[in-house]
Structure formats: C-alpha cells, structure tokens
Amino acid sequence: MQQPLALNALNYQHLLYFWVVAREGSIARATTVLHLTQPTISTQLKQLERTLGVRLLARRGRSLALTDTGQLVFRYADEIFRTGQELTEALARGESLRPSRLVVGISDSLPKLTTARLLRPALKAVDDLQLSVRIDKTDRLVADLAVHALDVVLTDTVVMPAGPVKLFTNLLGECGLTVFGTPELASAHRRRFPASLDGAPFILPTTNTTMRRSLDAWCVAHGIQPRIVCESEDVALLQVFGQEGLGLFAAPSVVEAQIREAYGVHVVGRLPEIRERFYAISAERRLAHPAVVALTEAARTRLFSGTERTLTT
C-alpha cells in the first residue's frame, strides 16, 4: 500500500501547471496561459508525477489525455485553484468571506420537481450561495462523494458502499404515489380506482428505478396488469408524455399540486401504501454545511412527514 504523501512534499506550482494543462487540453495551449515554454511545463509535469508516484497524463496519438488517477487529481486541483480564485476575487471586492459553495449530486431517478423543492431551502438559507448540481447514476455520484468531490448526494435509494469509506444515509422523508392523467384519461380511470388501472395505458420508469420496482410489486400483489406504453429513465420525459395523453403516470404525492399546475393533468387516484423515500447521503456523520442543514431540516419539518433516521453504511 502506497504511503500518504507529506503535505509539504507536494509542489503546488507543479500542481497548478498540471491543472492548467488538463483544463486547456494541451501543453501548447497551456504555454499561452502560463507564459512558459513547452519543455519547462513538460519537465514540471514529470516532476509532479514522480512526486505523486502515479501517471497523470497519457498520450493518445498527438494529444494528451488524463489517466483515471489524473482525473481524480484534476478534480482536487480544480477545487483548490477555484477556491483560490474565489479568495482573490473576494479580497479584490473588499469582502471578508468568499461566497459559500454547495456541490450537490442528484440521482437521475429523482423527479425534477421534487429535486427543486428539496434544494430551494438551501438557496434561501445561505446568502450568495453558489449552487453546483450534477445529475448522474447514484453509484457514480457516491464514488465522487467518497473522494469529497461532492458535498452531498440526494437520492431515493439507500446506498451500500463497497469500499472502506463510511457514508451516512440521512432520511429526508417519505410520501405515497399519485397517479395522473389527462382530463380524459383521468375521467376514464378514476372510477373503481385502483382496480381501474388493470389494462390501463401506463408510462413507467425503467425497471432499474426504485419507483418502478415498488409499482411492479404493488401490481403483482393486487392482481393488476397495466398496459405499458412507454418506459424511460428520464422522469421528466414520462411526465411530458403523460401531459400529451400517451398514458397514465405516477409521481411522488409531495409534488402533486406542482405537477397538476405544470402539466395540466388531473389526479386519477393515490397509492399511499407505495412509499417513495428520499435520502441525503453524506461523508460525515454530522451535517456541517449550513445549506445542507437547511435542506434536511426543511424536508423533515415542512416538505415530508416521517421520522428522522440516520443510517451508517
């Protein structure tokens, strides 16, 4: 196992050259930014690789590409030098503190309206908050969280990390599902709900999502077999198709009013026994970022009803 590098052994000037080369895409373009010759930059990059004991760049034809380790180092370097840039800009403006920054990973399975309601309290709680949002698969977001490239991950899945890093799953709240449809479809399937869902045209998320697995289990338990018209990983696309009358669709009941207003659809019925749960995954037991604290408190006290729970995974 490689021993950790002493902090004073890392040459930040060399790290800066690497950061500029990675950001610009080539040593040639970096020479203009750094006002240095190509041989000088190449020598410093090789020295940085020797110091770290890893390859950061690999040649792909005539161009350079980041190795997997290089991508990790770049993310850290990007945070370091962007923070330094914010500091100099804040000092130039005569400010005593730099604006707060929150980097949030959002699972691509979360409905966008729910995500917006979760994030809104964070924006209101911290003055001049710089919010950066990344949407991706939960496992990739968690991997970035483990190396502190993200402050928090919002997801609808309990995460069980495979590595040695401990992550903490904070339950924000839970709610049931509401089934929506155009006025015509809602009128046709509201009577005898939920039995009316048998054979009804349905637009569903794909089978790798928590919502789909819950809906499938509920349908099997109740002997209901909807007619699946469309499946999609993009929840927003499902809602647009539902707005156009392609079929019925389900969404968390917590954003029921917003969906009705945004898409002009009607409520067909509610399935409170199917529980959609929402979590904030962090790399710290006690949440410290004021925007994340505001987000979690608002979710638990105003957005959802449910018992607060913290799980160590």
pLDDT at 87 over 60: yes
Instruction: Tell me which fold the domain 7-92 belongs to.
Output: Arc Repressor Mutant, subunit A (1.10.10)
Res 8: pLDDT: 57
Q: Name all contacts of 119-122 with Cβ < 8 Å and 24+ positions apart.
A: 119/295, 120/298, 121/294, 121/295, 121/297, 121/298, 121/299, 122/291, 122/292, 122/294, 122/295
Res 229: pLDDT: 96
Q: Tell me where in the chain the CATH 3.40.190.10 domain(s) lie.
A: 101-171+278-312, 174-276
Res 112: pLDDT: 86
Across 54-63, 80-89, 151-160, 243-252, least confident range: 80-89
Q: What is the pLDDT of residues 88-113, one digit of tens each?
A: 766 675 654 444 788 999 998 888 88
Pick 5 or 199 by higher pLDDT: 199
Res 188: pLDDT: 95
Pairing mode of beta strands 168-181, 101-107? unpaired
Res 246: pLDDT: 96
CATH of 174-276, one of 3.90.230.10, 3.40.190.10, 3.30.565.10, 3.40.720.10: 3.40.190.10
**pTM for this one?**
0.63
Q: Region 291-312: what's the mean pLDDT?
A: 69
CA distance 231 to 86: 44
Res 165: pLDDT: 64
Res 257: pLDDT: 92
CA distance 282 to 306: 20
Res 99: pLDDT: 47
**What percent of the chain is predicted at pLDDT more than 70?**
88
Instruction: Tell me which fold the domain 101-171+278-312 belongs to.
Output: D-Maltodextrin-Binding Protein; domain 2 (3.40.190)
CA distance 29 to 46: 18
pLDDT level of residue 305 (50, 70, 90 thresholds): low
The backbone region for 102, taken as left when phi is positive above 0, alpha when psi lies in -120 to 50, beta otherwise, is beta
Q: Tell me where in the chain the CATH 1.10.10.10 domain(s) lie.
A: 7-92
The backbone region for 148, taken as left when phi is positive above 0, alpha when psi lies in -120 to 50, beta otherwise, is left
Across 13-17, 141-145, 263-267, least confident range: 141-145
Q: What is the pLDDT of residues 1-33, one digit of tens each?
A: 455 555 456 888 999 999 999 888 889 888 998
pLDDT at 245 over 90: yes
Res 98: pLDDT: 46
Q: Region 153-175: what's the mean pLDDT?
A: 80
Q: To which residue do tokens 């130039």 refer?
A: 92
Q: Region 177-196: what's the mean pLDDT?
A: 96
